[in-house]
Amino acid sequence: MRSEKMSSLRKTVAKRLVAVKNETAMLTTFNEVNMSPIFALRNEYKEAFKAKHDVGLGFMSFFTKAVVRALKEFPDVNSMIDGNEQILHDYCDISVAVSGPKGLMVPVVRGAEAMNFKEIETEIKRLAIRARDGQITVDEMTGGTFTISNGGVFGSMLSTPIINPSQSAILGMHSIQETAGAGDTGMMIRALVALAQERGKP
């Protein structure tokens, strides 16, 4: 057994997550989503996208665009509770979980509602590099209105993500698995991903 001093950043993150677990009533729901159309679209355009924009076309930009669209349709999810008031945001600052040497960090892609695929991928790459290099700051992880967590990068099949403080919900992505299933023309292979939606109410 050994003991290591936690950095101030890790202590801050830990305190916030413990607080939200203790102060928020949360409900987790699980759904499967057929990713085959996204696979096909990404495979068709990823080489041209990389050549044109010098950044890869990942799945996170697809999920970010989908989340932004959903938040506009269901604005209650893009809100926070402040005392006796509900504050509804008219912007989408999406917290995106990235892995760094100090563990999982959740920097914020600000103004995601106004971004295209290239801008989202570029910003996620920039933040991931800062996290990898240990340069990410508390300010860069503060102020998000909704979080996307991708446990699939660790091979996770299912998990129950913890809501970030002041946010109302979080979306957890997991490993994408190829599964045989019935299609319009008979049996087919579908790429399915399990999604966990955690919704809280203080």
Task: Specify the CATH number for the domain of residue 22.
Answer: 3.30.559.10
Q: Is residue 99 part of a domain?
A: yes
Assigned domain for 48 exists: yes
Is residue 2 in a domain? no
Q: How far is CA 171 from the centre of its chain?
A: 6
DSSP 185: T
Q: What would the pLDDT profile of 56-73 be if each residue is shown by its tens digit?
A: 998 889 999 999 999 999
Q: Which structural domain, as residue segments, surrounds residue 173?
A: 8-201
Q: How many domains does the chain have?
A: 1
Instruction: Look at residue 1 and tell me if it is in a domain.
Output: no
In whole angstroms, give the CA distance from residue 98 to residue 109: 12
Contact 127, 141 (CB under 8 A): no
- Reported as a single tens digit per residue, the pLDDT across 68-98 is 999 999 998 898 877 778 889 999 999 998 8
Is residue 3 domain-resident? no
Asked if the structure places residue 68 within a domain, the reply is: yes
pLDDT tens digits, 105-137: 889 999 999 999 999 999 999 999 998 888 888
Tell whether 105 is covered by a domain: yes
Strands 94-96 and 108-109: antiparallel
Other C-beta atoms closer than 10 Å to the C-beta of 140 total: 16
Q: What is the pTM of this model?
A: 0.75
Angle between helices 36-53 and 117-132 (to 10 degrees): 80
Mean pLDDT on 161-182 = 74
Angstrom distance (rounded) from CA 136 to CA 32:
33
What angle do helix axes 117-132 and 59-73 make, rounded to 10 degrees? 110
CA count, 13 A, side-chain hemisphere, 40: 6
Question: What pLDDT is stored for residue 114 in this prediction?
Answer: 97
Is the model's pLDDT at 193 over the cut of 70?
no
**Residue 202 has what pLDDT?**
45
Compute the average pLDDT of residues 160-174.
78
Which span out of 42-46, 148-152, 169-173, 187-191 was modeled with the highest average pLDDT? 42-46
Residue 27 burial by Cβ neighbours in a 10 Å radius (0-12, 13-18, 19+)? exposed
In a domain, 157, yes or no: yes
